[in-house]
Amino acid sequence: MTSAASNAPAGTERPASQGRKRPPLHGPPPHEPGLLQEIGGGFLGISSSLGAMGILGYQIGRRLLSLDFDRGELLKNLYKMGVKSVPIVIITALFTGAIVVIQAAPLVVQLGAHGLLGWGAGFSILREIAPLLTALMINGRVGANNTAELGTMVVTEQIDALRVLAIDPVSFLIAPRFLAMVITLFLSTIFADALALLGAAYGGFALLNVDPKTFYNSLTGSDLLGVADVTSGLVKSIVFGAVMGLSSCQYGLDVKGGAPGVGRAVNATVVASAAGIFVLDYFVSFTLD
C-alpha cells in the first residue's frame, strides 16, 4: 500500500487517504499534544482496556460456569503453559530463596537470630516473594506468548474464520486459556514455595552456617507461621493468574497491523499485567491480613 501511495503523483489526495496525517479538526491542528491531553488520553486508554477486560471476563465467566469450553484445548494449554514453564520456575524459585537469605543475613548476624532465619525467610517467601516472582516470570513467558499467539491469529484472520464456522472463539480459544493460566499459576506457586524454601535453607547453610534442620524447625515448629500464610500466598496466585489471563487475551484479541502490531501488543500486555499484579498484590495483602 505504501509503495502504491508513493508511486502516485505528489499532490493528489494522498493526505486524506493516508491516515497518518492528523485530519484538521476545529481550529489549528495541534502539532504536539500537551501534557494535559497526554494524561487524559492515557487515562482514557487505561479505562477502555479495563472495560474491555471486564466484558471479556464476564463472557469467560459465563462459559466457565456453564462448562461450555473446549477440554482438549484446555489440556493442550495446560501442557504448553504449565509443563513448559517448569524449568523457569525451578531456577527462579531456587535463586530467589537464596537471595532472600542473603538480604536477611546482615540483620540475622547483627541480632544473632540464627534460630529465627527459617521463620523470617519462610514468612516473606510464602506470603510474598514466591507468588510474586512466579507470577512475574510466568507473565513474561506465558502471558507474552499467549498474546503473540492470539495476535497472530487475529492478524491472519483465523478468529474470523472460526466465527464463520459458527465456533464461538471465546469458548474455544479464550476460556480454556484463561482457566489454564489460573491453574498453571496456582500449581507453579505451590511448587515455587517448596523450591524457594529449599534454596533458602541451603543458602542459609552456605552463607550463615545455619543447619537446614534448624531452618526447618524454626519454619514449622513455632506458632509464628501458620496455614493462613500459605493460603494467603495461594489466593494471591489465583488473582494474579486471572489478571494475566484477562489482560493477555484482551490485548491479543485487540491486535491491529501486522508484525509490528503483535510486538506492540506483547509489550503492552506484559507491562499491563505486571502493573496489575503489583496493584492487586497490595489490595489482596491488605484485605487478607
Q: Is the Cβ–Cβ distance between 137 and 81 less than 8 Å?
A: no
Q: Which of 64, 74, 114, 145 binds other proteins (CB under 8 A)?
A: 145
Q: Which residues contact 66 (CB under 8 A, 6 or more apart)?
A: none
Tell me if residue 24 falls in helix, strand or coil: coil
**How far is Cα of residue 283 from the mean position of the Cα atoms in its chain?**
17
- The residue range among 25-33, 71-79, 126-134, 212-220 that interacts with other proteins, by the rule CB under 8 A, is 126-134
Q: How far apart are CA 207 and CA 243, in angstroms?
A: 37
In the bound complex, what is the minimum distance in angstroms from residue 178's beta carbon to other proteins? 19
C-beta of 64 vs 230, nearer to other proteins: 230
Q: Which of 128, 183, 216, 238 binds other proteins (CB under 8 A)?
A: 128
Q: Which of 82, 118, 120, 169 binds other proteins (CB under 8 A)?
A: 120
- The residue range among 25-33, 187-195, 213-221, 252-260 that interacts with other proteins, by the rule CB under 8 A, is 252-260
Q: How far apart are CA 35 and CA 255, in angstroms?
A: 27
C-beta of 161 vs 259, nearer to other proteins: 259
Q: Which of residues 88-117 bind other proteins (CB under 8 A)?
A: 88, 91-92, 95-96, 98-99, 102-103, 105-107, 109-110, 116
C-beta of 27 vs 106, nearer to other proteins: 106
C-beta of 92 vs 214, nearer to other proteins: 92
Q: Is the Cβ–Cβ distance between 247 and 53 less than 8 Å?
A: yes
In the bound complex, what is the minimum distance in angstroms from residue 252's beta carbon to other proteins? 9
For residue 80, CA distances in Å to 35, 87, 173 come to 43, 13, 14
Q: Is 147 in the site for other proteins (CB under 8 A)?
A: yes
Q: Which of residues 28-57 bind other proteins (CB under 8 A)?
A: 42
Q: 133-167 burial, b if ≥16 CB within 10 A, otherwise e?
A: bbbbbbbeebbbbbbbbbbebbbeeebeeeeeeee
In the bound complex, what is the minimum distance in angstroms from residue 147's beta carbon to other proteins? 7
The type of residue at 278 is F
For residue 153, CA distances in Å to 53, 115, 157, 185, 262 come to 19, 55, 6, 24, 10
Count of residues engaged in binding other proteins, rule: CB under 8 A: 58
Q: Which of 34, 98, 24, 60 is nearest to 247 (CA)?
A: 60
Q: Which of residues 192-211 bind other proteins (CB under 8 A)?
A: 207
C-alpha cell at 61: 465467566
Q: How far apart are CA 155 and CA 160, in angstroms?
A: 10
Q: Which of 56, 117, 135, 137 binds other proteins (CB under 8 A)?
A: 137
In the bound complex, what is the minimum distance in angstroms from residue 226's beta carbon to other proteins? 10
Residues that bind other proteins (CB under 8 A): 42, 87-88, 91-92, 95-96, 98-99, 102-103, 105-107, 109-110, 116, 120, 123-124, 127-128, 133, 136-137, 139-141, 144-145, 147-149, 151-152, 155, 207, 224, 258-264, 266-267, 270-271, 274-275, 278-279, 281-282, 285-286, 289
